[in-house]
Amino acid sequence: MAAAHDDGFEHIESSLDDLSHAEYLMLYHEAGENLLFAKRQQWMALAYLSMAFVGIYLLAKANPYDPKFLNYLTVCSFILTIFAIAVVIFLQFWQINEKRILRNISSGLSNSFQRLRSLKSRNESNAHRYIMLFMLMAYILMAQIAMLRALWNITN
């Protein structure tokens, strides 16, 4: 059923039957939840890395006279940094896949739905996403540098 608006836009319903429409909406909701979960996990990875670095620092402060132990802690901090970077990148790819799912699902829904989804441009969304990814990576690297500096100060 089509409905006209003042701006000349005409609403066209999706061609899906009720059951398929319900499935699309359920899948759309699930993909949206997965996207938010992946974003939250990225921030949790930073929180866990920060807490691990505090723990490494406290362990180093508790035993500053054992150079082997301090070297071990330094290696652990590097490994944790590599893991954090990998997790953030994997979660970014998961988000990209969920965004692709959302885009594919929305193509089967009404043109009003598609019109609302297109209010924020895809390029703008990508710019925001990659700026945030850069900021996450910069935080991880700065935290690693701070950790190395703190461990170096303990040994000297």
Q: What integer pLDDT is reported at residue 56 of this predicted model?
A: 97
Contacts of 121 (CB under 8 A, 6+ apart): none
Q: How many CB atoms lie within 10 A of CB 151?
A: 20
Let me know: does 27 contact 101? Beta carbons within 8 Å.
yes
Read off the pLDDT of each residue in 24-39 and give the average, rounded to a whole number. Answer: 94
pLDDT of residue 2: 53
Model confidence, pTM: 0.84
Residue type, 7: D
**Digit-coded pLDDT (tens) for 62-113:** 999 999 999 999 999 999 999 999 999 999 999 999 999 999 998 888 888 8
Alpha-carbon gap, residue 101 to 44, rounded angstroms? 24
Q: Is the dihedral of CA 60, 66, 68, 69 positive or negative?
A: negative
Q: pLDDT for 137-155, tens place per residue?
A: 999 999 999 999 999 999 8
